[in-house]
Amino acid sequence: MPRFSTSVSALRSSAIRELMSLASRPDIISFAGGMPGNELFPVEEVEELFRHLDPKAKRAAFQYGPTPGLPSLLESLGGFLERKGLPVKKNRLMITTGSQQALNILAKAFVDPGDRVLTEYPCFIGAIAAFRSCGAEIVSIPVDEEGIDIGLLEAESIRTDPAKFLYVTPYFHNPAGMLYSTDRKRQLIATLQGKDIPLIEDDAYGDLWFSEEHLDRLKPIKAIDPEGIDVCYTGSFSKILGPGLRLGWLLAPEPIFEKCELIKQSADACSPSFTQVIADAFIRSGKIEPYIASVRQEYQRRATCMSEALRRHLPGYVHWNEPKGGFYIWLTLPEGTDASTILKRAIEGGAVFVIGSTFDPQGTRNNAMRLSYCNNSPEEINRGVPIIADAIRSICG
């Protein structure tokens, strides 16, 4: 009988991964995965860029690279982040194998079994898995339409045994879809200053905004660069270029970076050089900003379509916020509702989504669901939303 570790025994399969087998069925409309639309990838542009690289760069793409990342990509990505106001030169930048690896590295850097870490509720399932794999006790603090509950965060921050860190996703939250207000970010900063609780700021979706009126709310806390808080900023090429590249990044203060570099060395030595070369060429070509602008427009079109469909079909007791960017809409059902029963009915009708307990570190709160619109045509959205609305009514009345 294999004797597995305590940490692996604490892991559970992601409901999202399990739903992917359903999503491949031609008769199922999937609102489950947070995957960019395949038809939106810049395949021809990338082919052209790689074809015109010099032979030295192409050979480098097949070779091992430095653990922190290829110097050329660190330079071009650093410039991309500086244009967003991030203090790159005051910190160290590391290329990671997706932003999921950045979360795993940070968890290993900070967490011993039994340590408390703070997250939002609901919380990105990848973060829950990363923190639980290190034996963390996850304390989740609810969010509203403006961000994390500051009163509950304040109560946690003044404990004599402070949590190892706070993890937040302020920009088009996964799964809640909301965007932190500027005031809520200021309150969060004031609460953490001088408390020896590092902040992990996950910004996978911040470039996918729908209206310029929200740009002031999109300034990262890392760009504010508050005194008295160690801010570790993570991001990804997955939503702004392609998840198949498996490239993310971590921008962290020097002492934290040093530990993270050692952890990455032990994990994979280096992230894929091939895709780093592609990402670097894409940034240097000047194509990345226009490409992001084009997919942003398409995701806004799909979000608008889903919002209109939800307004037409959902019963009034279902609450949700109009998306301002990103990939997701979070539906809150009446207290006591079990979204699993609604999911079963929806699957019978031909549509799937992700139930709320997937995003609860305790796995118990289940009167909510996440719908993604990023990988669906307007036609699929208009066919799928009524199926889900009918499933909700069949259970909730």
Question: CA 241 to CA 213: how far, in whole Å?
Answer: 24
For the chain, which residues make up each domain, given as ranges? 6-42+290-396, 43-284
Q: What is the pLDDT of residues 238-294, one digit of tens each?
A: 999 999 999 999 999 999 999 999 999 999 999 999 999 999 999 999 999 999 999
CATH fold of 43-284 reads Aspartate Aminotransferase; domain 2 (3.40.640)
pLDDT at 62: 97
Residue 117 near residue 165 (C-beta atoms within 8 A): yes
pLDDT band at 2 (very low <50, low <70, confident <90, very high): confident
CATH superfamily of 6-42+290-396: Aspartate Aminotransferase, domain 1 (3.90.1150.10)
CA–CA separation, 89 and 93 (whole Å): 9
Residue 18 pLDDT: 60
Q: 204-207 — which CB contacts under 8 Å span 24+ positions?
A: 204/99, 204/169, 204/174, 204/234, 204/235, 204/236, 204/238, 204/239, 205/169, 205/171, 205/172, 205/174, 205/239, 205/325, 205/326, 205/327, 206/171, 206/172, 206/235, 206/325, 207/239, 207/240, 207/292, 207/296
Q: What is the pLDDT of residues 180-210, one digit of tens each?
A: 999 999 999 999 999 999 999 999 999 999 9
**Residues across the chain:** 397
pLDDT in tens, 33-70: 899 999 999 999 999 999 999 999 999 999 999 999 99
Q: Report, as an integer, the average pLDDT of 74-87.
A: 98
Which token pair is 254? 């020097």
How much is the average pLDDT of 333-342?
95
Q: Is the pLDDT of residue 165 over 80?
A: yes
What's this model's pTM, rounded to 2 decimal places?
A: 0.95
- Give the mean pLDDT of 301-329: 97
Strand-by-strand arrangement of the 92-96 sheet: 92-96, 248-252, 231-236, 199-202, 166-168, 116-121, 137-144, 147-148
- The yes-or-no answer to whether 6-42+290-396 and 43-284 have a common fold is no
